[in-house]
Copies of this chain bind each other. A is one copy, B any other.
């Protein structure tokens, strides 16, 4: 029986999970693969951390170079995170002909193009299923199962921390700060939650999967990012009254010669499947021109779900090694020579539905003025509601619009803000319907309306 030797660099939460699986599920994996996955070395600078696994003598080291310089190690699992040492370790591993498995979405979002190219040059695999959506089979589904599909749109709940916080605000009527500190106490949010709550983590993931879906270079800089820290319970209440829930969505859409890629809070119909995704769970809805809507759902973070995806990557590499050949798939599912550079639309170019809440003086003529501004910018109103009066003499005016262009909306709101009757900055929340395929056109590339494919 053949075997594959593994070096694990970084034994924090997910790294520990990987070690646990390789040790505790050894027989299961050997049974499935017909070969052994051997955890030869584990490197971590933290020697005091209490871990749930006990390593044999000689396995644990504080010196990662014992892994990187060991010619018997076939695969390096990078579980350090960040863009410093992790980057250096991956580059060194690739240069010495070792395969790499990582869950480091930030590094891939920022430097994936370089890393993938180096892996291809050196005929080794860099696998990263765990970088997006934890145990959900996102990368594999996009690279393999959907190979026959033009992907037209993806809508995801890709950050469990945000989803947990928003769910708790909705459920308990907490303020954002209360919900955040509760999430931190329960371990659903980091001490420094910025990457999560400001949307960057979801944006890293969106940049990666957009590249795979559309066959383009990773373009994190192009992704529009807006976090959830400014969401107020009042807006969640209104959303609820209109039959919506507020979620942090990662959205990308394919316009063939350009894409949309954006992360921001959005209302979605309460009866949509994505709105049912509560707590720290992730979900991704994918529209293919042959498949129609498909959805994946699962634990997007945490020790064991993420480690499960890491070990699946190891198994894929092992199945390849066993067959005495290089990587089965190029990193993005396309040969590097077919990867195109596709521009990302600026946020101003997108078209979607909108919800505005405008605080206006309670006097006649305000609605007429505001709707006049909207009309001048071609923003068509779907409904308008004047909510109950507050303590002040300002009343909230709530608008839901038909599809409009973001640039027009921003200009219109700036003009509205300047009206003497308007007391504060309007609240704008985009409304998305994950139940549609994200195209204005009802045609797909096979010349049939999307619905006929289903």
B33 touches A308 (CB 8 A): no
Chief secondary structure at chain A's binding surface: mixed
A113 CB, min distance to chain B CBs, angstroms: 18
A299 at the interface (CB under 8 A from B): yes
Known contacts A29-B148, A140-B140, A135 near B335 by CB under 8 Å: no
Q: Mark A310-340, 1 if CB is under 8 A from B, else 0.
A: 0110011001100111101110011101100
- Most chain B C-beta atoms within 10 Å of own C-beta, residue among A32, A150, A273: A32
CA A134 to CA B147, docked complex, whole Å: 14
A149 at the interface (CB under 8 A from B): yes
Segment with Cβ contacts to B, from A20-28, A189-197, A355-363: A20-28
Cβ 8 A contact of A308, one of B148, B323, B447? B148
A293 at the interface (CB under 8 A from B): yes
CA A29 to CA B326, docked complex, whole Å: 21
- Which residues of B are found within 8 Å of A141, using beta-carbon distances? 137, 140-141
Question: For residue A143, which residue of chain B has the nearest CB?
Answer: B32
CA A136 to CA B294, docked complex, whole Å: 7
Question: For the side of the interface on A, what is the size category?
Answer: 35 or more
CB<8 Å pairs between A and B, sample of 28: A17-B290, A21-B148, A25-B446, A28-B148, A28-B150, A29-B148, A34-B335, A34-B338, A135-B145, A136-B294, A137-B137, A144-B315, A144-B316, A145-B309, A145-B312, A146-B308, A147-B312, A149-B308, A289-B304, A290-B307, A291-B299, A291-B308, A292-B299, A293-B299, A295-B296, A304-B454, A320-B328, A323-B326
Which residues does A use to contact B, with CB under 8 Å? 17, 20-21, 24-25, 28-29, 31-34, 129, 134-137, 140-141, 144-150, 215, 271, 273, 276-277, 280, 288-299, 302-305, 307-309, 311-312, 315-316, 319-320, 323-326, 328-330, 333-335, 337-338, 445-447, 452-454
